[in-house]
Chain A
Amino acid sequence: MPDAASPERSRPPPHPAVVLAVAALLPGMGQVMNGMNTRALTFIFFMFMLGMVSWHLTTPEHSFLGRHAGGVLVYAISVLDAYRFARLRQAWHRARLADSAGS
Chain B
Amino acid sequence: MRWDAVLLGAALFGALAWQARRDHLRALAWRARLFDDCGALLERPAWRMDQTGWPALEGAYDGRPATLALILDDAGVRKLPALWLATTVAAPLLVGAAFDAIAREQGTEFFSPARELPVRLALPPEWPFHVSLRADRSALLPDSLVMAGARFFAAPEAKEIVVSPRGVRLVWLVGEGRRAEYLVLRRARFEFARVDHKVVAAQLAAASLLARSLEAAIDDAGRRVA
Residues of A whose CB lies within 8 Å of any CB of B are: 1-8, 11, 35-36, 38-39, 84-85, 88-89, 91-92, 94-95, 98-99, 102-103
Chain A contacts for B136, CB-based, 8 A? 7
Is there an interface contact between B115 and A6, defined as CB atoms closer than 8 Å?
no
Is there an interface contact between A6 and B164, defined as CB atoms closer than 8 Å?
yes
Cα A88 to Cα B81 with chains together (Å): 14
12 A-B pairs whose Cβ atoms sit less than 8 Å apart in the complex: A2-B90, A3-B166, A4-B89, A4-B166, A4-B167, A5-B98, A5-B164, A7-B116, A36-B108, A38-B107, A85-B110, A89-B110
Cα A88 to Cα B111 with chains together (Å): 8
Say which residue of A88, A94, A103 sits within 8 Å of B75 (CB atoms): A88
Cα A3 to Cα B166 with chains together (Å): 7
CB distance from B40 to the nearest CB of A (A): 19
Cα A94 to Cα B50 with chains together (Å): 9
Cα A92 to Cα B53 with chains together (Å): 10
From B48, B58, B69, B110, residue with most partner A Cβ within 10 Å: B110
Cα A52 to Cα B168 with chains together (Å): 49
Cα A11 to Cα B118 with chains together (Å): 14
Chain B contacts for A35, CB-based, 8 A? 115-116
Q: Closest A-chain residue to B65, C-beta based?
A: A1
Cα A98 to Cα B50 with chains together (Å): 8
Cα A66 to Cα B75 with chains together (Å): 30
Residue B169 CB within 8 A of the other chain: yes
Residue B82 CB within 8 A of the other chain: no
Residue B56 CB within 8 A of the other chain: yes
Residue B41 CB within 8 A of the other chain: no
Chain B contacts for A98, CB-based, 8 A? 48, 50-51
Cα A39 to Cα B115 with chains together (Å): 13
Is there an interface contact between B166 and A6, defined as CB atoms closer than 8 Å?
yes
Q: Closest A-chain residue to B49, C-beta based?
A: A95
The B80-121 residues at the A interface (CB cut-off 8 A) are: 88-91, 98, 100, 107-108, 110-111, 113, 115-117
From B58, B71, B89, B116, residue with most partner A Cβ within 10 Å: B116
Is there an interface contact between A3 and B117, defined as CB atoms closer than 8 Å?
no
From A5, A39, A103, residue with most partner B Cβ within 10 Å: A5
Is there an interface contact between A95 and B168, defined as CB atoms closer than 8 Å?
no
Chain A contacts for B58, CB-based, 8 A? 1, 99, 102
